[in-house]
Structure formats: C-alpha cells, structure tokens
Copies of this chain bind each other. A is one copy, B any other.
Amino acid sequence: MEQKWKTAITKIEPNKVALRGIPIDELMGRLSFGQVVYLALRGELPSEAQGRLMDAILVSSVDHGATPPSALAARTVASGGAPLTTAVAAGIMAINRHHGGAIEGCMQVLLEAVQRQRERGQDAVTAAAELLAEYRAQKKRIPGYGHRVHTDDPRAVRLFALAEELGIAGDYVKMARALRSAMHEALGRDLPLNVDGAIATVLCEMGFPPELGNGLFAISRTVGLVAHVHEEQTRERPMRRIHPTAHEYDGPEERTLAGGG
C-alpha cells in the first residue's frame, strides 16, 4: 500500500479547495449549481448554453410526488426513526434499473442508433426504423417513451424546446423524434418521450456517458427526497402505514412563476 492512488476530482491544500482545478470559492456566486454539477462530472466548465440546460435537467426531476419507490422508501425508513440522511439514502437506493434507469437505457439506444446512422450514412428515419425492427425481433423495449400518468410529459416538451432555443439540439434530438415516429407507425400508438427520455437525449447531445444517467437523476431527486423525509418527520406519526397512492396534495394553490416571486 505504499503507492498513492490517484483522483482527478478535487485538490485539497491548506486554505485551498479546487474542483477540477478551479478554486471552489471562485465558483461560488459566479456559477449556478447546475454549472458546477457539469464541471464536477465532466471535468470541464460548460458553455453558457450547456450550463443553462444542465440547470433545467436537474430542475426537471427534482420531485414527482409521493408515489415513486424512492419517495416511499425514504418515508418508510424515516417512519422507523432513522435520521434524515439515512432515510434519503434509502430513497436513492430505490433509484436503479426500473426507477430512473430509463435515462441510461434510452441513452444507450440513442448512442447505438446515431452511431449506426453515421456508419451507414443513413438518415434518422431509416436508421430508427431499422433499429426498431431489430429490437422488436429480439423483444427488446426502447426505454424513455410513454408514461403511466402523463400522455404528453410537459417536462420533456420543455426540455426539448430549451435544447432547440439554446442551440444544443442535434442528431440525438432528431433520432429521438424519429424513434417516436417509427414506434407510432409500427405499434399504431403514439408514445411521446417522457422526462427520462428527454433527459437522455440532451445528455447525449452534451456528451455524457450513459452510466452517469442515474447519477444525475439521483442528484436531482435528492432534493425531493429531503423534502419528503422532512415532511414525514415533522407532519406524520412514527410507524404509520404509508399508502402508496391514497394521498392528496394540500400545498400552495397553483400559481405562475411571475405571480410567485
């Protein structure tokens, strides 16, 4: 154990903490948290557009109510008396292949599809149709489309609009749309991209590796989990039976951003 092992994330020296080479105190007040997430995970500063998109990605998944396994696991663990961080951790452990995992799964499909399109010199529509046919023959699903609550996920719509507006939409956005059309044609059902699929698409545009999909989802959802655990700890009695769907919202009435702040 004599040799030192290496890490490229943060350098610590007396009175200096530098993330990917840049002193953290210099980042504070100048970059948004989303921009710093990009820096921490990619090792480089984002462009202005990438930084704004990263904030939007993280905002999109911040919470999805009390029904997802992550919220229920966190509340259930809190209900036994665990400290806040333990309960939040249980929520994060529920994020895996079936919960949030569509981000990684959809990224892998999009990366494969665009690579094949480029190698074969095809257009997106042809490449999408071919890939879909192969997936169906192998009984493989394409993750990131359809949602059990939303017929047209407003977060996905907004993320694509932002990607267009910020000039980040490219081959992956085209492919994501081509796959939707191909599925519509093949299955006779229109399954719009859900928020996981939309995040997957823009993460591909920004060059993130698929295995960070769940990592970004976890960073975002930790916020909602802290809110759920704190609500459970301050509002509910210990050891209650937590019904997964029989709950209702009693927070602030619907309002617009303009009216609110």
Contact = CB atoms under 8 A, between A and B. Distances in A.
A170 interface: no
B4 A248 contact: yes
A15 B148 CA distance: 11
A138 interface: no
> Which of A8, A86, A220 has the most chain B CB atoms closer than 10 A to its own CB?
A86
A85 B217 CA distance: 10
A175 interface: no
A251 B149 contact: no
Contact of A215 (B94, B230, B244): B230
Interface stretch (A44-52, A111-119, A121-129, A183-191): A44-52
Given A15-B153, A25-B158, A73-B73, A98 B5 contact: no
A166 to B, nearest CB: 8
Interface of A: 1-34, 36-37, 40-41, 43-47, 52, 55-56, 58-60, 62-67, 69-70, 72-73, 76-77, 79-90, 92-101, 149-155, 157-159, 162, 165, 211-212, 214-216, 218-220, 222-224, 226-231, 233, 235-236, 238-257, 260-261
B227 A9 contact: yes
5 contacts: A9-B65, A22-B257, A27-B257, A79-B99, A242-B244
A187 to B, nearest CB: 20
Contacts of A73: 73, 76-77, 80, 90
Contacts of A31: 55, 59, 257
Contacts of A149: 12-14
A32 B146 CA distance: 27
A93 B21 CA distance: 28
Contacts of A52: 29
B83 A96 contact: yes
B19 A242 contact: no
B223 A10 contact: no
A6 B250 contact: yes
